[in-house]
Amino acid sequence: MVANRIEKTRDIETPRRAWLVGLVAWAVPGAGHLLERRWLRAALLGGAVWIMFLMGLWLGGHLFTVTGKEEGFGVLLQLLPMVGNIGTGLLYIICWMANIGFAEKAQLVTYEYGNTFLLVAGLLNYLAMLDAFDIAAGRKP
């Protein structure tokens, strides 16, 4: 029965627009749902990600990046959280270009909270991106 379901899902062709919506949803949190005219979802999902990201910066968290100076497996300690951070799309790219949020402020009490907020903002935006993609592809009401 599950196999039948999977087969049925495979037959449904993904519209090109869904990929665009997914890309926009990743680039600007909430924008994918706006394209789909899901105003409330856009406000809730986008709002949560934006608030979490900005709070993360305000709390003194730092964004991860691979500098090329890491040795051996040390690169994984930067790469994996960086993938999480990149989930916030243009927010991460703008911060990277403006060099905002990359300095470590470990002396702050809220430093770890800030890091966690920034990481989870990216991961949640991946979830929001998939949600927008599914809606655009007609897989979700």
Partner 1 sequence: MKHVFWMAVFAALTAIVFGVSAKGTDRQRLKYGLKVVGEFLAIAFLLGWILYFIPFR
Q: Which residues bind partner 1 (CB under 8 A)?
A: 41, 44-45, 47-49, 51-52, 55, 59, 109-110, 113, 116-117, 120, 124, 127-128, 130-131, 140
- Min. distance of Cβ 139 from partner 1 in angstroms? 10
What minimum distance in Å lies between the beta carbon of 53 and partner 1? 10
* CB 50, min distance to partner 1, A: 10
User: Do 87 and 125 meet the contact criterion of CB atoms below 8 Å apart?
Assistant: yes
Q: Which is nearer to partner 1, 45 or 95 (CB)?
A: 45
Nearer to partner 1, 47 or 74 (CB): 47
Write the DSSP string, 2-70: HHHHHHHHHHSPPPHHHHHHHHHHHHSTTHHHHHTT-HHHIIIIIHHHHHHHHHHHHTT-------S--
